[in-house]
Amino acid sequence: MRKDFYIFRHGQTDYNKERRWQGSGIDIDLNEEGVAQAKRLAMKLEHCGLEYIYSSNLQRALHTAQIVASQLHIGVDVIPDLREVCLGKAEGLLKSEVAVKYAQIFEDWYNEKENMNVRFPNGESKEEAQTRMFAVLENLLKQTYKTIGIASHGGAIRYLLYKFGLPPHRMENTALYHIIYEDGDWRLSE
């Protein structure tokens, strides 16, 4: 059995533009550029054969998923566990403010993937986010769809991709990744 997962980050929000951390507790919609990015993403996905999209419940991801689904004439459903990493008390702050207010945690957060237990006060660890995201993929293996779109968030996707050997990297809005499950094995497509 083979299943293809096309995982994409949501389009731009005003908070992204400001470099302000949203996490899972701040729920704002796409800005005008984010809507345009989602439309361009739909064109990139036209030939992938998506049958259905599952999305985070946060409106920036859900709106992106809805734009893509509308252009591809497929359905969308929400899975709350596809939400962004909870950044606790760092949510709503500018990245530069987080770097000062939580200097040591911030430094550890951007260290290599080996430090998966770091978290901001009242937040979720990278490992918890990775476990949550991978559990969603495993549960989606039960679906009859063979080619599935997943709309999520930069941090949540990044820590999921660590599991597949992708090193830390800057992720643009609407970045797209292809994960394949085949005969019991998972792999990240090049």
Q: Would you please indicate which residues are annotated as catalytic (active-site) residues?
A: 10, 84
Q: Are 140 and 30 in contact (CB under 8 A)?
A: no
Amino acid of residue 91 = E
For the chain, the residue count is: 190
Task: Tell me whether residue 135 is exposed, middle or buried, using C-beta atoms within 10 angstroms of its C-beta: 0 to 12, 13 to 18, 19 or more.
Answer: exposed
Q: Are 180 and 4 in contact (CB under 8 A)?
A: yes
Residues 6+ apart with CB under 8 A from 44: 176
CA nearest neighbour of 32 among 6, 10, 13, 18:
13
User: How far is 47 from 170, CA to CA, in rounded Å?
Assistant: 26
